[in-house]
Amino acid sequence: MAQWGALGHPFFFVPLASFAFDFQKALGLTAMFHLASNVSKIILFRNGLNRKLLLQLGVAAVLFVILGSFLTRFFDSKILEIALSIFLILLSLIFLIKKDSVLQPGSKETIVGGSLSGFFAGFLGTGGAVRGLTMAAFNLPKEIFIATSAAIDLAVDFSRTIVYFFNGYISSEMMVYVPYLLLFGFGGTFIRKKILVYIPQERFRLISLILILLIGIASLVAIYVKKGS
């Protein structure tokens, strides 16, 4: 899981923003919101940073987020949006049903997870959910989960924000939202850190998987609503 995985990461921002804005503007707003949120997570959870996992996941994620961001100019993302939503629903259900299933955080698994999350982050704005699913499958301690995911997200979101800007997805009119995004990002992270103290490790993984399942469902609903409007 971004991306403190599903718990506390603004995964729902793209589906919610898609209700009010066109998909490209939703991508731009999401990237700016994630930047603010991830800076706050790194500051508050910096002691949990896993540098090896950061390197393996992060490099692949940054490379593929640039590719995904660039490709948004040429492809209709509808099919991929639906595919990602179904993927999140099915995989989260598998790990929820098979509660003892845990992946080993080897180089192959982390690089594949980082590549997929980076590509989906650039192309759809929701790649943190894929990385969250990967990290939840590793069953990492929650402090490592949050800090490492936030550091990867920061690099990913900075990279795609630059590409989105040059693609024209971020306009001067959207700057009015920046103070609110900063406020919600820092305020939300502070509150979630206080709540996290009371959540046992086994519950953290369960909650993360349930929220990712809801993200997949919410994304499908957003697609259906946009199609009917």
Q: How far apart are CA 136 and CA 204, in angstroms?
A: 9
pLDDT (tens digit per residue) in 139-170: 777 778 778 877 887 887 788 788 888 888 78
Exposed/middle/buried for 182, CB within 10 Å: 0-12, 13-18, 19+? middle
* CA neighbor of 34 nearest in space, from 156, 116, 129: 156
Predicted local confidence at residue 3, as pLDDT:
40
Average pLDDT, rounded, for the chain = 75
Predicted local confidence at residue 9, as pLDDT:
47
Residues lower than pLDDT 50 in the chain? 1-10
Predicted local confidence at residue 2, as pLDDT:
39
Predicted local confidence at residue 128, as pLDDT:
65
State the alpha helices, DSSP H only, in 72-177. 78-97, 107-124, 127-138, 142-167
Helices 201-228, 78-97: axis angle to 10 degrees equals 150
> What tokens appear for 41 in the block?
């997570």
> Taking the chain, what is the end-to-end CA distance rounded to the nearest angstrom?
32
Predicted local confidence at residue 43, as pLDDT:
81
User: Which 3 state secondary structure label does DSSP give 198?
Assistant: coil
The answer to whether 209 touches 96, Cβ cutoff 8 Å, is: yes
Q: How far apart are CA 143 and CA 86, in angstroms?
A: 29
Collect all residues with Cβ–Cβ distance below 8 Å to 170 and sequence separation of at least 6. Answer: 28, 31, 32, 161, 164
Q: How many CB atoms lie within 10 A of CB 4?
A: 31
